[in-house]
Chains A and B, each alone.
Chain A
Amino acid sequence: MAFATAPETARPPSALRRLMRRKLAVLGLVVIALVVAGAVAAPHIVAHAPDEQMFDGLTLEGAPMPPGGAFLFGTDLLGRDLFSRILYGARTSLIIGVVANGLSLVIGTLVGVLAGYFRGWIGAVLMRFTDLMMAFPALLLAICLAAIFQPSLWIVAMVIALVNWVQTARVIYTETSSLATRDFIAAERTLGASTGRILIHHILPHLLPTIIVWGTLGISTTVLLEATLSFLGVGVQPPTPSWGNIIFENQTYFQSAPWLVFIPGAAIILLALAFNLVGDALRDVLDPTQRGRG
């Protein structure tokens, strides 16, 4: 499509093109791309393996090395290269933040939409189950689940997904049940539209903003939940690094070696922020009533 001659009535530019016009969204995408690239290409970037304890990684007194100097981010208590651990840890955290969080969104949305649209006994059963899950301490449940299965990264991701969908389901349920009473849904029903068509074409698009917001919020929550599980010994097993377990390993030395907590903390915030920026822009771009603004 030629921009200069595009008449007013032509089909507007695609959502992706409109997304790329937003500076903050592009910034977010760049940060995400960098983190992904760093995680994938970690072996080619770093000089030391993440679990290699180096003799020169500690001072003569046995304290970790501060950032700068030979090690970009310094070293940890065992003399391991923090930069290397952060890059390798990104693999774990991305999988948790994206896969586990994505899975929990899918479960939450599915439960919420079905309960909210059908109400009746389906809704009652699903929502009482959700309430039960909400009342049950998530951490305890995660510990139980992790204890039953052999702890591995994928099991941890699944456990996190299984305890984290509850809030999403609640919110999506409320929103669906109010959408279901709107006139345009009644109009679809009088047209003879099938339930599947109504749910996919007329309910789901309206839930996208909520799903996106909960999805981006969920990234930091899930990354930290993984860290908690790791700390309790049922998460990702050491010496495999994750951003969360780097923080937990080193939190007691926070005062003498603050970078050990700050750097992985900043990494989590940066990733969550990047997803947030992209999510916000995506929400606006996908909303036809917001067209032409921003």
Chain B
Amino acid sequence: MTAALPISGAEPAPEAPVLSVRNLTVSVATEAGAKPLVRDLSFSLHRGETLAIAGESGSGKSITSLAIMGLLPPNVAISAGSVCLGATDLATLPERQMRALRGDRIAMIFQEPMTSLNPILSVGAQLVEAIRAHDPIPRAEARARALDALRAVRLSQPERRLDQYPHELSGGMRQRVMIAMALALRPQVLIADEPTTALDVTVQREVLDLLRDLQRDLGTAIILITHDMGVVAEMADRVIVMQNGAQVETAATRDLFARPAQAYTQSLLAAVPRMGSAPARPAPEGEVVARLTDVSVRFALRGGLLGRVTHQVHAVEQVSLQIRRGETFALVGESGCGKSTIAKAIVGLVPHQGRIEVAGLALSELDAAGKKALRRQVQMVFQDPAAALDPRMRVGDLVSEPLLIHGQGDAASRRARAAELFARVGLSADQLDRYPHEFSGGQRQRICIARALALNPQLVIADESVSALDVSVQARVLDLLRALQTEFGVAYLFISHDMAVVENISDRVAVMYLGQIVETGTRAQVFGNPQHPYTRRLIEAVPVPDPEHVRVASPRLSAEIPSPVHALGQGPQRVRLHDVGEGHLVAV
């Protein structure tokens, strides 16, 4: 490529667009005739530009990307409009020629890097295959190019990575391999469909930085499909906001955030949780509902001929915390830090060491009947409401099931209670006889919340309970949780990786890293005055939904998180917490 690199920025480049989409309509064939999924969408994309397509689930943003790639599912097809890559109309191109274009001139990276890579081929083999599919160069030469591509995505030890298999890499590394594969052939257009949604914030930060740097070096035009307005603000030059398959608004990123013209865009931006926007409220000082003292959870790894325990995964290591009546205690940390394991230990799904007391009763000292009685006091709301509700049961039966299990009331009174709970979480009582699949994601999570409240528990554990929801739905569910807390005085153990959400809902916070708490205190202490470097890193990594925000340059951390696996008899070094004032504890 000899053309001079255009400078990307708010001003679109004057040359002809790389990709132009005109009046694109995509329809799905149903028994009732063709139903449009995307209606009359038009946009153009220039070299070196990043266009974000933002919207909530069902807005048609992913269908748009699949239509451009020619990867639509069998019963879905482009029914009108054109997709022009240079002079070629992709909408009418036969599959054979489309295949030659895909990867070569237009490439795509997906949300879940684990499922997009073939698990039984080494990374190098897959990269070489991708390169040679379009460019019939000798294997050795392709391998050298693959190595360059891995270097370009700043993967540590690239030579070693070539011979590794996808499962040996972490999520962030796998996404980098996907990016390397997509960019190895220097495509003109890269479609990134929620590229960082499945990644931790700090990893997301690195992947976003990488994409931006590569774009600057290669001049690739990027279509970024995302639901995260923070990512949009940081990455995009222009934004298209979509709802129900149609474009709601399009504008330069700065203008859109500064002056959203449409009501939908305004409500979408308003629903985005922002750091530092939550009103201050006094931390409740009620009685202690749950007390964890030096709780450890270890999983045995067996090896050798006799299957003896050789190593242990130290998932949770000597964690102590207290949750008071009516308060929201948040546990934050990245995947694998042990926050969900603590939740499972409290509800008795995994065995633990140390002492867990709920409502004054120690979990390990109870007999079977006592444990069952304790379950009435602790309920759990899971991350994915679709998976947590038995699809073959009516929702009314699901909500009243806790009462049935604990032998409370008769059938009529249980149904009445279910109806009452339904009304309380904002659903109607005549939906009681439906099945879970007939509800939307947000409604399903409301059903899960109703179910958790059926027994009037003292503690509700919300394990990533809003992570899978769209932002506007997420905001409403968070409001509901808060309202229910004021009404019933229930305490929440709120587990999340999302710092902005935690900052919005919590009274007190504990930051976890590798199975241990590294910092804990009130929300104001932890977010207002973060002391531990890891806490600071987490807070700084959160994408800010404000294009004017200037990011403080932080050192790039290429080191991988250490492993929590230790040989038997050995363990991680225990961190010691020091009080830096008024109960704000920080590891030293």
Contact = CB atoms under 8 A, between A and B. Distances in A.
A256 interface: no
Contacts of A287: 392
Contact of B406 (A12, A192, A202): A192
A192 B387 contact: no
Interface in B412-463: 430-431, 433, 435, 437, 448
Contacts of B387: 182-184
A192 B377 CA distance: 11
Nearest to B401: A191
B343 to A, nearest CB: 9
B38 interface: no
Interface stretch (B19-27, B221-229, B316-324, B378-386): B378-386
Interface in A147-189: 182-184, 186-189
B553 interface: no
Interface in A245-272: none
A205 interface: yes
B433 A288 contact: no
Contacts of B376: 192
B451 to A, nearest CB: 8
A190 B375 contact: yes
A201 to B, nearest CB: 8
A186 B448 CA distance: 13
Contact of A289 (B383, B391, B406): B391
Nearest to B397: A201
A206 interface: yes
Given A190-B375, A190-B380, A288-B435, A184 B388 contact: yes
B536 interface: no
Contact of A205 (B348, B380, B392, B431): B392
A206 B392 contact: yes
Given A9-B430, A191-B405, A288 B391 contact: yes
Interface in A277-294: 287-289, 291
B457 to A, nearest CB: 10
Contacts, number: 70
Given A183-B387, A291-B435, A189 B349 contact: yes
A292 to B, nearest CB: 10
Q: Which of A184, A194, A202 has the most CB of B within 10 A?
A: A184
A289 B388 contact: no
B379 A184 contact: no
Contact of B433 (A9, A184, A192): A9
A44 interface: no
A82 B391 CA distance: 50
A11 B433 CA distance: 7
Interface residues of B, number: 31
Kindly state the interface size class of chain A when it binds its partner: 20 to 34
Interface string B358-399: 000000000000011001101110111001111111100000
A197 interface: yes
Q: Which of B380, B388, B390, B401 has the most CB of A within 10 A?
A: B390
A206 B479 CA distance: 35
Interface string A201-231: 1100110000000000000000000000000
Contacts of A189: 347-349
Contact of B405 (A197, A205, A289, A291): A197
A291 B376 CA distance: 34
B273 interface: no
Nearest to A291: B435
A193 interface: yes
A194 to B, nearest CB: 8
Interface in A3-46: 9, 11-12
Given A9-B433, A12-B433, A289-B437, A183 B382 contact: yes
Interface in B19-70: none
Contacts of B448: 187
A102 B494 CA distance: 49
Nearest to A293: B31
Given A197-B405, A288-B391, A192 B375 contact: yes
Q: Which of B347, B348, B448 has the most CB of A within 10 A?
A: B347
B402 interface: yes
Contacts of B348: 189-190
Contacts of A202: 390, 393
A188 B372 CA distance: 12
User: Top 9 A-B pairs ranked by shortest CB distance?
Assistant: A192-B375, A183-B387, A9-B430, A288-B435, A190-B347, A183-B388, A205-B392, A192-B372, A184-B390
Interface of B: 347-349, 371-372, 375-376, 378-380, 382-384, 387-394, 401-402, 405-406, 430-431, 433, 435, 437, 448
15 contacts: A9-B433, A11-B433, A12-B433, A183-B384, A183-B387, A184-B388, A187-B388, A187-B389, A189-B347, A190-B375, A191-B379, A194-B405, A202-B393, A205-B390, A288-B391
Given A192-B372, A193-B401, 20 more contacts: A9-B430, A12-B433, A183-B382, A183-B383, A183-B388, A184-B387, A184-B391, A186-B349, A186-B382, A189-B349, A190-B348, A190-B375, A191-B375, A191-B401, A192-B402, A194-B405, A202-B390, A206-B392, A287-B392, A288-B437
